[in-house]
Copies of this chain bind each other. A is one copy, B any other.
Amino acid sequence: MDNASRSERSRNAALDAALAIIARDGPGRLTLDAIARESGLSKGGVMHQFRTKEAVLKALLERQMVRFEEFSTPYRAKARAESENPELATEIATVREAANAPNSAALALLAAMVENPDLMALPRDSDLKTIAAIKAEATDPDLAMLRWAAARGLMLGALFGMSPLPRPERDRLFARLLDDSQWHGLEKPARSRSLKAGAPAAKGTSARKRA
């Protein structure tokens, strides 16, 4: 095997091992020795591929972000044709993917946060763009943000073992979040101040979307 492939194989083995450890034992147990043990490499081998532990976390974070982009890009292409809010739909579907994948990106995020909070800047910047895109396409930006927040809440709950929602229920909730037609009842135009007390005109105000 040539050197490039050999290196990549080792790097991936190390990152896979890191994910497995975080998922199984928690981010506090992620050590370089543990990575070496779990991956089958020696510690020297790991350190040859990553000069520091922080480099491992950074690489892990970047790899996971790439993977989710590989999922979201084709999804977005399809969603643009089918959905009223393709950016929101893409984000929700991607987050659903993260919730269902056993070794998700969010685990990497958690480990990064523990070790070095600065690493969070990477996903945060990407989030900023996502949020802007979601708001830009929405008739009711706040409602869009709430759908986005709900997706995140479901994912983080599942990931951290916090919310004990069974899988089928989670799937059902994600499906409802994704379905634009289920949210038209309460959209409020972007620029109007809150009309809490007034006549809400709940049912039919939604038809004037782009149809």
> Interface residues, chain A, CB within 8 Å of chain B?
25-28, 109-110, 113-117, 120, 123-124, 127-128, 131, 142-143, 145-154, 156-157, 160-165, 169, 172-173, 176-177, 179, 181-186, 196, 200, 202-203, 209-210
What's the Cα separation between A149 and B127 when bound, in Å? 19
Q: Are B120 and A161 in contact (CB under 8 A)?
A: yes
Give this chain's copy count: 2
What's the Cα separation between A147 and B147 when bound, in Å? 9
Closest to A121 in B: B161
Set of chain B residues within 8 Å of A157, measured between Cβ atoms:
149, 152
What's the Cα separation between A117 and B161 when bound, in Å? 9
What's the Cα separation between A143 and B176 when bound, in Å? 9
Set of chain B residues within 8 Å of A127, measured between Cβ atoms:
162-164
Q: Are B149 and A26 in contact (CB under 8 A)?
A: no
Contacts A152-B156, A157-B152 given; indicate if A114 touches B114 (C-beta within 8 A).
yes
What's the Cα separation between A181 and B146 when bound, in Å? 16
**Interchain nearest-CB distance for A143 vs B (Å):** 8
Q: Are B160 and A181 in contact (CB under 8 A)?
A: no
Known contacts A113-B161, A153-B154, A183-B186; 14 further A-B pairs (Cβ under 8 A): A26-B113, A28-B114, A120-B162, A127-B163, A145-B173, A146-B150, A149-B149, A150-B150, A152-B156, A152-B157, A153-B156, A179-B196, A181-B210, A186-B186
Contacts A182-B200, A186-B183 given; indicate if A149 touches B162 (C-beta within 8 A).
no
Out of B164, B176, B202, which one reaches A184, CB within 8 Å?
Answer: B202
Q: Are A181 and B209 in contact (CB under 8 A)?
A: yes
Q: Are A173 and B160 in contact (CB under 8 A)?
A: no
